[in-house]
């Protein structure tokens, strides 16, 4: 019985953080991705027609991956600092941009912020996958 009470207490702490992470990821998406990928993620943002490569429909990532969301691959594409770049290379290297905006935190602090922002964004993309 105590184990269930402890698990309930942990879940009570984690669930609000999960909701905050979802909101943070959505905010990151709207601020940094929607101009090209569209508010709904379908690739119809106001800048999409100016791109030299097709802007992918982000709601179909899982469908293009046999029904599974490739979390690590998405994190690497969004980050862009590992050499894995998004759809034809005009996509910004968000990892470096996020790091540049957090330089005052020092190298360790800024990297923690970068990874958190990218993870929140990846979780948001996972949440908008078409059924």
pLDDT digits (tens, 9 = 90+) for 13-53: 444 545 555 789 999 999 989 999 999 999 999 988 888 88
pLDDT class of 81 with cuts at 50, 70, 90: confident
% of the chain residues with pLDDT over 70: 65
CA distance 121 to 107: 21
Distances (CA, A) of 127 to 19, 24, 51: 12, 13, 25
pTM: 0.73
């Amino acid at each position: 019985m105590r184990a269930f009470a402890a698990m309930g207490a942990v879940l009570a702490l984690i669930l609000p953080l999960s909701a905050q992470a979802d909101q943070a990821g959505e905010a990151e998406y709207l601020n940094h991705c929607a101009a090209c990928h569209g508010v709904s993620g379908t690739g119809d943002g106001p800048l999409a027609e100016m791109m030299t490569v097709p802007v992918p429909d982000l709601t179909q990532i899982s469908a293009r991956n046999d029904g599974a969301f490739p979390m690590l691959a998405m994190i690497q594409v969004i980050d862009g600092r590992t050499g894995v770049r998004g759809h034809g290379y005009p996509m910004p290297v968000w990892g470096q941009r996020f790091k540049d905006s957090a330089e005052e935190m020092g190298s360790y602090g800024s990297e923690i912020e970068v990874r958190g922002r990218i993870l929140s964004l990846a979780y948001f993309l996972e949440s908008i996958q078409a059924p």
